[in-house]
Amino acid sequence: MNTTETKSSFQDKLDQDLCIEPKDTMPDEYRKHLIRQISQHAHSEVIGMQPEGNWITRAPSLRAKQILLAKIQDEGGHGLYLYSTAETLGISREEMIEQLHTGKAKYSNIFNYPALTWADIGAIGWLVDGAAIVNQVSLQKTSYGPYARAMVRICKEESFHQRQGYEIMTNMMKGTKEQQEMAQDAMNRWWWPSLMMFGPHDSDSPHSGNAFVWKIKRKSNDELRQRFIDKTVQQAETIGLTIPDSDLKWNETKNCYDHGEINWEEFRRVVNGNGPCNKQRMTHHIKVHNEGAWVREAAAAYAKANAK
């Protein structure tokens, strides 16, 4: 099929809102865009296991420990779905991991902040997974079939993650003064980095143009950020938490909240490797990846020995 034919059948499917499937012909730029986004999404899921994993031995009850263990296992599973989705586009797992370890590939800014108290585990579940849900619900309609289907499955588990985080924050706000202060401190530290998760403003987003043309994105960074803010402010007020933004104000005309300016200098600093935990996260991932080499080798040897 020549390039023109490739592009027209691809465009026909997009125009009919049909999913593009792995065996379909697709422009190289579309494939590369998806590999970039999906592999970084997968990296985020796996690196995101670290801040929460640090609290498994310190969970305040057996129930809390069970819930946290289940959540972290879910995140690992989300990473595997997404690595497998990216592999359908022709990149190997090894290549993706090498891109992560060499800094060629990113992962979400949010996982470069430390989880300092148990309230952080609540804030991560409620705010980080809450933001992820807003983004991922929109991605359920993305044009690449395997990615859209992975999102449907992931979103079901994310809603449990968000609810358990909100339950932790709710219980702490019903607790002692010290617990309330701990919850507010976590709110203060996680609110703005959670807004940054949605990416730069639309006007500063180099990929959004193509992402919309190819129906990879259905809603813009700013639209999804706004949706998250409008939903979360009410949840915070219900349990007595204060949003750390003195410019936050309901805008009757726009029917949404106006908010203060995001610190994009901090975003760039963290995304470029200079956040509080970037080095720790990567050192740990490289260490554990190397320690797990024998598992991968054994699984590959078993598969080879049992290949029909």
Which residues of this chain interact with ligand 3HC, rule CB under 6 A? 36-37, 40-41, 44-45, 48, 75, 78, 106, 108-109, 128-129, 132, 135, 158, 196-200, 205-208, 211, 221, 271
Of the two residues 78 and 285, which places its CB atom closer to ligand 3HC in the complex? 78
- Are residues 292 and 126 in contact, defined by beta-carbon separation less than 8 angstroms? no
Q: How many CB atoms lie within 10 A of CB 44?
A: 22
Spacing of C-alpha 291 from chain mean position:
25
Min separation Cβ 241 and ligand 3HC, Å: 20
Q: Closest distance between ligand 3HC and the C-beta of residue 31, in Å?
A: 15
CA 200, distance to chain mean position in Å, is 15
Taking the complex as a whole, the smallest distance from the CB of residue 116 to ligand 3HC amounts, in Å, to 18
Q: 64 vs 124, which CB is nearer to ligand 3HC? A: 124
Choose between 135 and 170: whose C-beta lies nearer to ligand 3HC.
135
- Closest to ligand 3HC by CB, 118 vs 267, is 267
What is the CA angle 97-99-103, rounded to 5? 120
Residue 308: CB minimum distance to ligand 3HC, A: 37
Q: Which lies closer to ligand 3HC via its Cβ, residue 109 or residue 117?
A: 109
Residue 197 and residue 128 in contact, taking contact as beta carbons nearer than 8 Å: yes
Between 122 and 199, CB nearer to ligand 3HC: 199
Please check whether residue 148 is in contact with residue 85, taking contact to mean a CB–CB distance below 8 angstroms.
Answer: no
Best CA proximity match to 163, nearest among 188, 189, 130, 135: 130
Neighbouring C-beta atoms of residue 300, cutoff 10 Å: 10
Measured at the CA of 186, the angle between CA 201 and CA 231, to 5 degrees, comes to 50
**Would you mind telling me the total number of residues written for the chain in this entry?**
308
Smallest distance, Å, CB 131 to ligand 3HC? 7
Task: Kindly tell me which of 36 and 289 has the beta carbon lying closer to ligand 3HC.
Answer: 36
Least distance between ligand 3HC and beta carbon 97 (Å)? 17
Strand partners, 20: 144
Alpha-carbon distance 86 to 38, whole Å? 6
CB of 303 to ligand 3HC, least distance (A): 29
Determine the residue type at 73: Q
